[in-house]
């Protein structure tokens, strides 16, 4: 769990406006990868192409950020056009291979609670508690980033196994 603590602290510094929902999303991806997004492989690839076409490219941006457990978020803005199709295939392959467990995920949420109580985030432990109460009652589903996170950080990435990253 030390790796997760380190990653949560890094993300709290890098994304100071992250909300409880964004921290939970990070942990969800750390545990389960990105497979919750894939229902149809061709539709997944088509969506990736459209998202990439509408995105402002930034070849100076970091290609990926580590989210632990052998998983990374690949920044679409930094992906070279010739590598986009392979990224899509890597995303699909990673989703098929990486499986987590609810018990492990719930244990990781306990780490998040401790860090929130220590003041590691802009949100406090009470805000996290309120969010988690509703989240757990809903069955711990995959979630999207908060509106505040999307507005301020414009996330556009794919979650893949770190071993699949290509420069």
DSSP conformation letters of the chain: -HHHHHHHHHHHHH-TT--HHHHHHHHHHHHHTTGGG-S-HHHHHHHHHHHHHTSPP-TTS-SEEEEETTEEEEEGGGS-GGGHHHHHHHHHHHHHH----HHHHHHHHHHHHHHHHTT-SSS-HHHHHHHHHHHHHTTS---PPPHHHHHHH---EEEEEGGG---
Report pTM: 0.93
Percent of the chain exceeding pLDDT 90 equals 84
Is the pLDDT confidence value at 17 over 60? yes
Report residue 143's pLDDT band, with 50, 70 and 90 as the boundaries.
very high
**Residue 158 CA, distance from chain mean position:** 8
Query: Would the CA dihedral through 107, 97, 8, 154 be positive or negative?
Result: negative
Check residue 98 and give its pLDDT: 75
How confident is the model over 81-97, as pLDDT tens digits? 999 999 999 998 888 88
Q: How many CB atoms lie within 10 A of CB 52?
A: 18
Tens-digit pLDDT profile for residues 111-138: 999 999 999 999 999 999 999 999 999 9
Predicted confidence (pLDDT) per residue in 21-45, tens digit: 999 999 999 999 876 656 678 888 9
């Amino acid at each position: 769990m030390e790796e997760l603590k380190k990653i949560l602290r890094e993300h709290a510094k890098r994304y100071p406006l992250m909300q409880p929902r964004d921290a939970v999303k990070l942990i969800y991806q750390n545990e389960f990868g990105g497979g919750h997004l894939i229902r149809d492989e061709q539709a997944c690839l088509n969506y990736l192409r459209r998202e990439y076409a509408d995105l402002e490219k930034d070849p100076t941006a970091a290609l990926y950020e580590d989210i632990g457990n052998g998983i990374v978020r690949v920044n679409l803005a930094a992906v070279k056009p010739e590598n986009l199709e392979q990224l899509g295939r890597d995303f699909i392959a990673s989703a098929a291979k990486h499986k987590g467990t609810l018990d492990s995920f719930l244990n990781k949420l306990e780490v998040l609670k401790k860090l929130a109580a220590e003041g590691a985030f802009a949100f406090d432990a009470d805000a996290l508690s309120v969010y988690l109460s509703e989240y757990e009652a809903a069955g711990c589903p995959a979630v999207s980033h908060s509106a505040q996170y999307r507005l301020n950080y414009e996330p556009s990435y794919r979650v893949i196994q770190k071993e699949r990253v290509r420069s």
